[in-house]
Amino acid sequence: MSRLFGTDGVRGRANADLTPDLALRLNIAAARVLGATDRRTVAVIGRDPRASGEMLAAASAAGLAAAGAKVIDLGILPTPAVAHLTALTGADFGVMVSASHNPMPDNGIKFFAAGGRKLPDHVEDAIEAALDDTAPLPQGEGVGRIVRSVDPVESYIQHLVAVCPNPLDGLKVVVDPANGAATGAAPEALRRAGAEVVTINDDPDGLNINENCGSTHMDGLRRAVVEHGADAGIALDGDADRCLAVDAEGNTVDGDAIMAILALAMRDAGRLNGGVLVTTVMSNLGLHQAMSAAGIELETTKVGDRYVLERLAEGGYSLGGEQSGHIIMSDHATTGDGSLTAIMLLARMAATGRTLKDLASVFTPAPQVLLNVRVADKSVIDHEDVKNAVALWQAKLGADGRVLLRPSGTEPLVRVMVEAAEEPVAQSVAAELAAVVEHAHS
C-alpha cells in the first residue's frame, strides 16, 4: 500500500482522492498524535482561496474539534503565515489546506508541529497509522470549539516588515500572487517596506488560483515588468511558500540564482551560519560552481523543502532552498516563505544599488532540461531498463553533466532532469530517457 503522505503533506484531486471524510479522519488522527496530553490541545488552521478549501478546511476543523482540540481558524492565509502563527500563538500544531502550486482541482493538507516546523517522516507515519484508531472521541465539555482569529494577516505583514534589513525605497516591483493566499499580504508588506508595487493576478475567485499565473506561468509577469518599467518582478505560487523573480529586462531569476544572491548577502552581513548553503539535488551545477568560487560550502539533500529544513536544523545553518523557489531563512522563518524571500531579495538590490540582473550574474547555470513523464506507477524508476539507461548516460556525460530521475511527491509524474555542457545534448539525453521511462511503464 502506498504512503498517504507525499513530500509536502497529503494531496490529491479534491472530492475524489481527498474527500471531506478523509480530511476529518486525518485531522482526528493528527490531534491524537500531535496534541497535548495534560491539557486541551490548541491547533490553528488556514487555507488558500481555492474553492474546495472551504469544505476541506471545515471538515479538518470539525475533525480537530471532534478530537477535543480548540481550533483557531485563520481563514485564507499563506502557508508560511500559518507556520509563523503556529509558533506565535504557542499552538500545539498547525494545519494548512492547500495544494501549493498544483492546479485548482487539486487540494492538500499539511501539518506543522509546535513551533511551526514541518513533520519528519516518522511522525507522518504515526498520523497515518492513527487513522485506524477506534478509541472513543470526547463528549460533552470534552468536545473542542472553533474560534475565528482576529486579523492574522496583519500580524504576518508586521512580521515581514520587521525583518526587512533596510528600506526598499526607490524600487518599483510587479507582484504576481497567483490569485492565491498572499494576494493581500505580499504586496502590502512590500509597500510598507518602501517599494512601489504594481500587482497582477490579484483577484482570487476560488477557481483561478495558479491558472496561467504565478511562479509556474511567468510570461505575464515578464511582460508586466517591461511594460511598467519596473526594477523587478516577483512571482509567488498559490500558497506563497515559493518565490521566483524577473529582472528589469524580463529575464527569469530562479531559485538557484536567488539563493546565490542571498548567500552572498548573508555572508557579507556575517549571517550565513557555517558559511554553508543547503540545497537539494535538483540545484544546477552552476550554483555549485558559483558558491565554490565565493568560498561558500554547498550541501545537498533529497528533493523536498522539509529535507532542506532538517539539514538546516541539524547543522545550525541559516539558508537553504530549492531551485523551484522554496527559500528558507531559518533566522526568520520555519519554512519556505515567498514573501520573505521577495523582501530579502529586494533589500539586497536597495542596499547595493545594483540591478537584479547584475546581482544574478554571479550564477551561470549549466544547460538543464527537465521533462515530466506521466505514469500510473512511479516505481517505474526502479525498472532495470530505466536504471541501466541512467547509468549509461551518466557515464557518457561524465563530470560535465548530470542525470537525475525522481518521482514527483505530489503528482503522478516521473521527473527526468539532465544537465550537460551543451543544451542540445541535454535535450537529446532527456528525451531519450523519457522515452525509456514511457516504454518501461507501458
* Rounded-to-integer distance, Cα 260 and Cα 162, Å: 23
Respond yes or no: is residue 100 known to be catalytic: yes
* Residue 84 cell numbers, joined: 509563523
Residue 309: helix, strand or coil by DSSP? helix
C-alpha cell at 428: 537529446
Question: Of 268, 265, 273, 278, whose CA–CA distance to 318 is shortest?
Answer: 273
Nearest to 268 by CA among 294, 244, 292: 294
Cβ count near 429 (within 10 Å): 23
The H or E element containing residue 42 is: strand 42-47
Q: Does the annotation list 241 as a binding residue?
A: yes
User: What is the rounded distance in angstroms from the CA atom of residue 346 to the CA atom of residue 215?
Assistant: 17
Phi-psi region of 73 (alpha: psi -120 to 50; beta: other; left: phi over 0): beta
Tell me: is residue 239 an annotated ligand-binding position. yes
Q: How many other β-carbons are positioned within 10 Å of the β-carbon of residue 424?
A: 10
Q: Which amino acid is residue 334, in one-letter code?
A: T
Q: Is 100 annotated as a binding residue?
A: yes
Which of 52, 60, 98, 100 does the annotation list as catalytic? 100
Q: What are the backbone angles phi and psi of residue 14, rounded to the nearest 5°?
A: -60, 135
Whether 400 has a binding-site annotation, put simply, is no
By annotation, the residues acting in catalysis are 100
Binding site for Mg(2+), by residue number, is 100, 237, 239, 241
